[in-house]
Amino acid sequence: MKQFAAEDVWHGLTMREYDVLYTLSKCPEPIRPAELNRHVLLTQPALSRMVDRLVERGFVQRTRDPHDGRGVRLSLTAEGRARQRRVGGRHAVGVARALTGALTDDELHALEQICGKLADTTNRKQL
């Protein structure tokens, strides 16, 4: 993680901020803060403060929850989506470089199978 954090790809974001933008980019519709909290490694108070900062910077927007007038939902703004894509592409290159440098082709194939299985299990639990 330190190696990834040290790379010059973040363009003013921290890795944790990028994680929030990445998570929101994978959501087909705005989500509640509690849903976001289940997918990032931050405490609820830390996530709330981070979301406040990302809203102030124009990367995340809050909208009223149509099913709960007291609740809010979070989504990326156009600027947030563009920043996530720009940073994400560069970050993916660094991750690929780290993996291909450390693993053989057989190990990469095994890792791909394991990750697919874990993703399937996670998706089933969320349904």
Higher pLDDT, 53 or 120: 53
CB 55 within 8 A of CB 61: yes
pTM of the model: 0.78
- The whole-angstrom separation of Cα 34 and Cα 13 is 22
CB 11 within 8 A of CB 57: no
The Cα angle at residue 49 between residues 75 and 10, in degrees rounded to 5: 70
Mean pLDDT of 7-36: 89
- pLDDT at position 51 is 97
- pLDDT at position 127 is 42
- The whole-angstrom separation of Cα 82 and Cα 59 is 9
The total domain count for the chain is 1
Q: In this prediction, what percent of the chain has a pLDDT beyond 70?
A: 91
CATH number, domain with residue 66: 1.10.10.10
Domain of 23 in residue numbering reads as 2-126
